[in-house]
Structure 1
């Protein structure tokens, strides 16, 4: 099989620890040829790990994209508000592009990226990795078999996990919508994309409610300091006490969250970072402003209706879904790989256990990279799980949901997107 070569722009957690690792798992199919990363430690560490010579290491993505085209594709894994320019430059240069979600935080930029992909006849794939999971692929196939008759309603829940929410959306990079984007975009455009896919139709109307209720200064306990390590009297009773989480909670290592705190993960270095760094802050004294819970109601053009709930207040991170049809229902838990099909006619129940591979998003990251590299090996010709126009829809649905939440109104999505037909 042809080996696809890539340029990685942004060697952070998603770029370096999720997508680039495909080159290690399948070196005959995929190779990282160059890296652009402003952080010296990350860039040098990545270059050493992937045996990239100095001439192909860059601080600025503009440097690498100014050169004549020397690879097949570009992986854009920068921060949310930094995707637009490298994607556009890469498309103009003739590269196929894989872009981390969200593709942009601005409506106009999304539409320009969609237009550019068509104009330059290049693949622009957005990392909606859930479509590639064995779990959701199985549910999609059951719907296509009409095993529950005509689909009427979908009820979908994303339980973010109290610890994951505190790490990413209170202390972390996605805590402030002015610096990143609303949480319904940053965390949930995956879910809106899945609802689009399962409903098999475009959105017609959308409505949303939500707020930041708990992680606020007015909820800080008495005498709580600004940093956990500054003698907090509540350290034994607080589930968000940073040193205990980053050094003892298994998820900090399993999900590689500890690397956000420090590149060097020995306990002394981590404690040093927590003493004054962003991940050591009290969760009630951060500059966060994104919702800690939100619900979205969606009407699709084919009459299917869905409700989606996102909440920070769960013990585990997991997605749960219920699809209700005229002849039966499908219930599932993605992380457990469990699907239950109930038949209204016979009264029978079928339990399906879907194999859940190890790795990011229950193996979805690897599956997505497999399909992307196969597509690029064929110069973008072939069957795609999704194309950029569908990704634009799911992103715009997130923006429409946020507008609905802020202004307490129902959004006509066709009008919001600017379509004329």
Structure 2
């Protein structure tokens, strides 16, 4: 009997138990559902190396100290011992929210033990690793969720309903923009964990793989046939550093800090001094941010470095053009230089109408009636317009029912959308239009060769 078949019997009326691996911003966001809906799920085990973050998280969820671990390897070893001695796992499912480069090894390890898995985006940081993850998940027969949270927000679910209804005719073109936000990009992709491709992946993957995913979702069952892409690291480099800044490398020492849009003092210190202890200041220290801790982080850590002196190398603006199997097209733009923070702007063009939205409301116009209707989907708490909450809620219910289809996607489809992101980046680097089917075939052949070697 497979792991999924087992859950149909085991979880029908039970509380779903979760192990959280990585208790930073993303792990904490997903785990909040257990505090909001304690009758649905409970966090029973965690793995987190930072002492204060570990302490605060375990206290909030009342995790037994025997199930609080410093590393995922320790949790995995304890799980193996429990399975050996009792035949039971420590939890029903794991949330994998560690650094991107660790996703593969963690997912493979816990899939082998039969845990259902919710993995933060992206799947992994290399093409071969994504293919390995797909194979491992399929072999394990587990429920698998991916952090493509855009699919699960009330806003995007309402947009999807319009697309699927077909009342506006055929969807023939999408124009989709992700405005990352000038200080968000500086925080995450210049100073932060996603600044160097060698340590994680290219920015189109780490920031926007869920955007490419939802474009493919809206245009399915048609599939991408060709892709092209252009982009670069345009501004956040030493050559763009103002001459008046001199040789100073940290914002707290800079003579022109007050005139800099990307001042770390403005981004972190000033909000905390005004009582705002949330993101982004909350993620640059271990524990609760205060003036002393933030000052120390800016004096000694990467978040206090000048954006023109940082070690970043990922694109700060990129466009992707997609042609689908039925001739439909889509264009996607990721750009750092915006005041909006991730509030996507989307135009969907149908043969008999259009939809224009901004992540909060969207307007549908029917060309035949000349009528426009404004839709205001319910906004739920959390990031991505409630997409984070929607994902964890959906995943928990899928585990309870033992039905992958409740997730609305599977690991095969997740891999396919990741392959399109890799193909787009290949186009950007090589300066050519990429045939998606040929790219997928070549990628899978290379992955097989890598395994055989």
Q: Same fold (TM over 0.5)?
A: yes
Equivalent pair of 1:210/1:295 in contact (CA under 8 Å): yes
Rounded Cα–Cα distance in structure 1 between residues aligned with 2:173 and 2:349: 5
Rounded Cα–Cα distance in structure 2 between residues aligned with 1:363 and 1:357: 5
Equivalent pair of 1:19/1:366 in contact (CA under 8 Å): yes
**Deviation string, structure 1 residues 231-287 (Cα, Å, up to 9, x no partner):** x12112111111122133499948521122223311122112111211111110000
**Deviation string, structure 1 residues 208-230 (Cα, Å, up to 9, x no partner):** 00000100101111242100011
Rounded Cα–Cα distance in structure 2 between residues aligned with 1:54 and 1:142: 48
Q: RMSD between aligned alpha carbons?
A: 1.7
Q: Which runs of 5+ in 2 are unaligned?
A: 1-12, 84-88, 445-453
Residue matched to 1:383: 406
Alignment map for 1:401-420 (pairs within 5 Å): 401-418=424-441
TM-score by length of 1: 0.95
Q: CA deviation at 1:45?
A: 2.3
Residue matched to 1:272: 296
Rounded Cα–Cα distance in structure 2 between residues aligned with 1:46 and 1:239: 33
Q: CA deviation at 1:384?
A: 2.7
1:285 to 309, 332, 348: 309
The verdict on how the C-alpha distance between 1:254 and 1:45 changes in structure 2, with shifts beyond 3 A counting, is closer
Matched, 1:331 2:356: yes
Residue matched to 1:219: 240
Rounded Cα–Cα distance in structure 2 between residues aligned with 1:245 and 1:215: 16
Counterpart of 1:414 in 2: which secondary structure? helix
Alignment map for 1:121-270 (pairs within 5 Å): 121-200=141-220, 201-224=222-245, 225-230=248-253, 232-249=254-271, 253=276, 256-262=279-285, 263-270=287-294
After superposing the two structures, state which structure 1 stretch, 266-275 or 78-87, moved more. Answer: 266-275
Equivalent pair of 2:404/2:410 in contact (CA under 8 Å): no
Equivalent pair of 1:245/1:252 in contact (CA under 8 Å): no
**Deviation string, structure 1 residues 58-85 (Cα, Å, up to 9, x no partner):** 1221222232222101111110110001
Counterpart of 1:395 in 2: which secondary structure? helix
1:64 to 75, 81, 95: 75
| The structure with more helix, counted as a fraction of residues | 2
Rounded Cα–Cα distance in structure 2 between residues aligned with 1:36 and 1:222: 45
**Deviation string, structure 1 residues 129-178 (Cα, Å, up to 9, x no partner):** 11011111111111112122111100000000101001000100001111
Equivalent pair of 1:20/1:32 in contact (CA under 8 Å): yes
Rounded Cα–Cα distance in structure 1 between residues aligned with 2:277 and 2:304: 19
Rounded Cα–Cα distance in structure 2 between residues aligned with 1:227 and 1:260: 19
Equivalent pair of 1:261/1:274 in contact (CA under 8 Å): no
Q: CA deviation at 1:115?
A: 1.6
Equivalent pair of 1:246/1:252 in contact (CA under 8 Å): no
Rounded Cα–Cα distance in structure 2 between residues aligned with 1:395 and 1:382: 19
Equivalent pair of 1:122/1:380 in contact (CA under 8 Å): no
Q: CA deviation at 1:381?
A: 5.2
Equivalent pair of 1:157/1:308 in contact (CA under 8 Å): yes
Rounded Cα–Cα distance in structure 1 between residues aligned with 2:141 and 2:21: 21
Equivalent pair of 1:174/1:180 in contact (CA under 8 Å): yes
The verdict on how the C-alpha distance between 1:304 and 1:249 changes in structure 2, with shifts beyond 3 A counting, is farther
Matched, 1:25 2:36: yes
After superposing the two structures, state which structure 1 stretch, 403-412 or 239-248, moved more. Answer: 239-248
The verdict on how the C-alpha distance between 1:255 and 1:292 changes in structure 2, with shifts beyond 3 A counting, is farther
Equivalent pair of 2:250/2:306 in contact (CA under 8 Å): yes
Rounded Cα–Cα distance in structure 2 between residues aligned with 1:6 and 1:53: 13
Alignment map for 1:96-135 (pairs within 5 Å): 96-135=116-155
Equivalent pair of 1:264/1:270 in contact (CA under 8 Å): no
Residue matched to 1:14: 26
Q: CA deviation at 1:120?
A: 1.6
Alignment map for 1:337-376 (pairs within 5 Å): 337-376=360-399
Equivalent pair of 2:277/2:288 in contact (CA under 8 Å): no
Equivalent pair of 1:206/1:400 in contact (CA under 8 Å): yes
Residue matched to 1:54: 65
Q: Which runs of 5+ in 1 are unaligned?
A: none
Residue matched to 1:302: 326
Counterpart of 1:38 in 2: which secondary structure? coil
TM-score by length of 2: 0.89
Q: CA deviation at 1:398?
A: 1.3
